[in-house]
Structure 1
Amino acid sequence: MNGKKLKKIRQQARITKKRSNTNNYLDDIRKYDTLFQDFPQISFLTHNVLESDRLISQGLPPQSLPLLQVPDNFQDTLFQAILKKYPMGDSRGDALWNRYTHALPNLDKQLRSFRDYLEAHYGMWAYIAAPFLKDLAHFINGAPTLEVMAGNGYISAGLQQLGQPIIATDSKDWTKENETGKHALTDIEPLSALNAWEKYQRQIKFVIMSWSPDGVPVDWQLLKAIRESSSDVQLICIGEKFGSSGSRQFWKNASYVDPEGTKKLNQHFSHFDLVHDQVYLIQ
């Protein structure tokens, strides 16, 4: 079996596993939200997860997120809280300590898995929060824009709600493998990235590309097509450089421009886990 086929099989197995865990995810978060309701360090995190899901489920841009993991010193907080309620050696305090500490590892795992839940349940790969969309709309400032690989259209729909003219396109190649493209929030024209560029390049000033598939060189092919064109168009790319999105050819050959604009676009781009995706301006 060749390497590419093996990688695809492993990826499909990972997606299937995610789907099987999706239905229980929010139930677990609600359970821990109740269990740790007296501890604001935890309830702040669980409330954020639940509110984010509520907004996304209604087709609305979610809020920015804090770092979703149990604080390193939280067991010390637990110990002191129980000690205030029960003296050392009291069996009731011991039972409460055991109940809390038994739950902590899975709580931490579930918080860190929120991105997996969003991917499996909503087909949302980049976390597109409302504050970031406002920054992006301000940057585009009414210029005609094309989004390629739009997925369910979270970016395009959010920008349209802010009055920005944008064309959403996607090849729909992933609809058989995951939730991408199954929960469209806006009209999405069925075009590959290269076909969309070929069709609209003379009508636009920006191309938005978010989370191009890992290891697939379509991003590099698109960048080459933009460079070979006479059109003055800038690429706005969202992804994890040399990480879990895009191809090595793309990241290696990208020319990063407008550092001040890049900084402004990233000021409200949420980082809530170990994935370090961000916004890049590329030519």
Structure 2
Amino acid sequence: MTQFLNKINQLNSKINQPEITRQVAEINQIIAYLNCQKILTQAPNRLGLLPDESEAILQRVGASKAPTLKVLNQLLNSVRQFLSINYGLWSLPNLQTVQLLKQELHVNSALEIMAGNAYWSQALTAVGVKTIASDSLEWAKTSSTGSKPVMQVVDLDAAAAIKAFPKVDLILCSWAPNFTTSDLLAVRAWKQYNPKSHLLFIGEKDGATNSAAFWHEIKLHKSPQLRKVNQSFLSYDFINEQIFEIEHEI
């Protein structure tokens, strides 16, 4: 962890350009917040450089610094990977987004399934939503971060948790794996045990998260309320991360 931060700060001092310095400061702030188990106030701005941005910087600092800039940009684009390895955190919650979820969807209680280290549960709790975090905890057996949840996690798989806690207003799943159909099993359990609640999945459509069968079979509910929530949750890297709601069938 320290090595990543030291490297990115050292390279930033060599390039010394305001648009990169802003990004590096934001990364330092994210890590400082996580180390104190605090939640970001709002989503980070975009990290990493587009090709034209990189070219413009090179014109200012000189071609001799191209290797330095390339390595620095790789690090800027590796923040999500860094967070997953060091914190068991794939999706970065923020207070603005969870406050909007509470307000726009009229949420007072929530269940997070496949919660991992329960960062989204922590964020929902911080804005006054009574939240239960649940996970099968299988991943924790082989992960160095598996013993570092930020709040208590109930040992239940997604479908079992939905059955066990059927009276919540919101069921939330962040970054369901793309190599199982546990996401579809969760949807089926939701339809059976708590179909009046909001069922949200955070991830990338037809991309890094959820099974191919999930994206093929489910129907998404698009609403002005969720659009407003997503405006506070713009992805900070090349993964098109969004919040999706499953369409109600009742």
**2: CA distance, partners of 1:51 / 1:148:** 28
Please identify the structure whose Cα radius of gyration is greater.
1
Amino acid of the residue matched to residue 219 of structure 1?
A: D
**1: CA distance, partners of 2:159 / 2:98:** 25
Shift of 1:267: 0.7
Please give the TM-score of this superposition, normalised by the length of structure 2: 0.90
**2: CA distance, partners of 1:166 / 1:75:** 46
SS at match of 1:175: helix
Given that 1:33 and 1:46 are in contact with CA atoms closer than 8 Å, whether structure 2 keeps it comes out as yes
Given that 1:170 and 1:188 are in contact with CA atoms closer than 8 Å, whether structure 2 keeps it comes out as yes
Given that 1:141 and 1:164 are in contact with CA atoms closer than 8 Å, whether structure 2 keeps it comes out as no
Give the equivalent residue in structure 1 for 2:230. Answer: 266
2:133 matched to 1:168? yes
* Unpaired stretches in structure 2, ≥5 consecutive residues: none
Deviation digits for residues 214-269 of structure 1 (CA, Å, limit 9, x no counterpart): 12101101111222346422201111111111112211121211421220120111
Please give the TM-score of this superposition, normalised by the length of structure 1: 0.80
Given that 1:239 and 1:279 are in contact with CA atoms closer than 8 Å, whether structure 2 keeps it comes out as yes
Higher mean C-alpha displacement, 206-215 vs 255-264: 255-264
Deviation digits for residues 185-233 of structure 1 (CA, Å, limit 9, x no counterpart): 11111111111111111x2122111111112101101111222346422
Give the equivalent residue in structure 2 for 1:158. Answer: 123
Distance 1:204 1:105, change over 3 A: same
Shift of 1:49: 0.9
Distance 1:102 1:138, change over 3 A: same
**2: CA distance, partners of 1:74 / 1:35:** 15
Deviation digits for residues 151-198 of structure 1 (CA, Å, limit 9, x no counterpart): 111111111111111111111110133355422111111111111111
2:218 corresponds to which of 254, 257, 261: 254
Amino acid of the residue matched to residue 57 of structure 1?
A: N
Query: Equivalent residues in 2 for 1:3-152 (5 A)?
Result: 22-37=1-16, 39-62=17-40, 63-71=42-50, 72-80=52-60, 98=64, 100-152=65-117
**1: CA distance, partners of 2:214 / 2:12:** 42
* Unpaired stretches in structure 1, ≥5 consecutive residues: 1-21, 83-96
Give the equivalent residue in structure 1 for 2:155. Answer: 190
Given that 1:170 and 1:189 are in contact with CA atoms closer than 8 Å, whether structure 2 keeps it comes out as yes
Amino acid of the residue matched to residue 48 of structure 1?
A: E
Count of residues paired in the alignment: 245
Cα RMSD for the two superposed structures? 2.0
**2: CA distance, partners of 1:113 / 1:120:** 11
Amino acid of the residue matched to residue 193 of structure 1?
A: A
**2: CA distance, partners of 1:77 / 1:169:** 45
Kindly, what percent of the aligned residue pairs are identical? Answer: 24
Shift of 1:79: 3.5
Deviation digits for residues 8-67 of structure 1 (CA, Å, limit 9, x no counterpart): xxxxxxxxxxxxxx5521121111232233x20110111111111111111111242222
Give the equivalent residue in structure 2 for 1:91. Answer: none
Higher mean C-alpha displacement, 24-33 vs 212-221: 24-33
2:198 matched to 1:234? yes
Higher mean C-alpha displacement, 151-160 vs 228-237: 228-237
Given that 1:152 and 1:185 are in contact with CA atoms closer than 8 Å, whether structure 2 keeps it comes out as yes
Given that 1:238 and 1:277 are in contact with CA atoms closer than 8 Å, whether structure 2 keeps it comes out as yes
**2: CA distance, partners of 1:219 / 1:46:** 35
2:182 matched to 1:218? yes
Shift of 1:125: 0.8
**1: CA distance, partners of 2:212 / 2:145:** 23
**2: CA distance, partners of 1:221 / 1:48:** 37
Distance 1:179 1:267, change over 3 A: farther
Amino acid of the residue matched to residue 61 of structure 1?
A: I
Given that 2:112 and 2:133 are in contact with CA atoms closer than 8 Å, whether structure 1 keeps it comes out as yes
**2: CA distance, partners of 1:58 / 1:128:** 15
Distance 1:81 1:180, change over 3 A: closer
**2: CA distance, partners of 1:160 / 1:214:** 27
**1: CA distance, partners of 2:203 / 2:225:** 16
**2: CA distance, partners of 1:179 / 1:140:** 35
